[in-house]
Amino acid sequence: MKKIIIANWKMNPASAKEAENILNGIKKTAVKLKKTQAVICPPFIYFENSRKIIGETANLFLGAQNSFWQNEGAFTGETSPEMIKNSGGSYVILGHSERRALGETDEMVARKTSFCLKMGLKTVVCVGEKVRDEQGDYLVFLRDELRASLNKIQKKFLKNLIIAYEPIWAIGKKDADAMPPSDIHGTAIYIKKILSEIYGRENASSAPILYGGSAGKENAGEIIKNGGVDGLLVGHQSLNPEIFSEMLISAENI
């Protein structure tokens, strides 16, 4: 399985010109990738231009940071999976903690997840605890969040499901503040176990697990190598093309 490194630009950068510069910088490295897939998730307003820059680059893909659970209708401000696909997007991030903090519920994430999978998008569902307590309550939280966010998926669409484990306490910090790879490894195994409980071992074992939360050039290689994950979801450091390119190279060299 190819490594998957996703750039989640969030609500950045401020201009189309900057977006273009960042993506052009990343593309210089992405054209050389063989064992790694790079996915760029810009704000929707930069989608069309990003699609043009990406062109036919084999291992560089376009993704959305959110989607609605229907394809058309009176839903002001929303964007549908069909629009994402028609605009060149093949990935979508759903249930990011920053969206959940704005009021997105597990139920909404579940509806979006099942519909985006049905529409054939590679669907990245984010889960992660706010705090890591000594008693292990975070494990219960993770299990419940996973179950609730995935509860509407039909088995036959599972092949496009990707889980991004993003402990909220580790997001937006320095490389040294990311979760240690050994802890990531333990959690990745736990997530696989929950997926197997829900869907059966054969169906669930193929779902890639990504890590997100202060992933950067200092820790990217180590997290993938020793964290038992298939890739990374990268926030603020994906806005720096040099840093993100180094992360892609680290993944490629494993």
**Among the options 129, 145, 166, 218, which is catalytic?**
166
Tell me the C-alpha to C-alpha distance, in Å, between residue 141 and each of 111, 129, 146, 203, 254: 20, 7, 9, 23, 32
Between CA 29 and CA 244 the distance in angstroms is 9
C-alpha to C-alpha distance for 204 and 199, rounded to whole angstroms:
6
Whichever of 161 and 199 has its CB closer to ligand PGA, that residue is: 161
Nearest Cα neighbor of 215 from 250, 188, 187 is 250
Q: Which residues bind ligand PGA (CB under 6 A)?
A: 8, 166, 171-172, 212-215, 233-237
Of the pair 145, 166, the CB lying nearest ligand PGA is at 166
Q: Let me know if 96 is a catalytic residue.
A: yes
Tokens of 42: 């810009």
Q: How far is the CB of 177 from ligand PGA (least distance, A)?
A: 9
Nearer to ligand PGA, 150 or 215 (CB): 215
Give CA separation, 2 vs 62, 140, 187, 227, in Å. Answer: 16, 30, 21, 16
Q: How far is the CB of 135 from ligand PGA (least distance, A)?
A: 26
- Considering the complex, what minimum distance in angstroms separates the CB of residue 98 from ligand PGA? 7
Residue with CB nearest ligand PGA? 235
Q: Does the active-site annotation cover 166?
A: yes
Structure-block tokens of residue 148: 């609730």
State the nearest-atom distance from the C-beta of 166 to ligand PGA, in Å.
6
Catalytic site positions: 96, 166
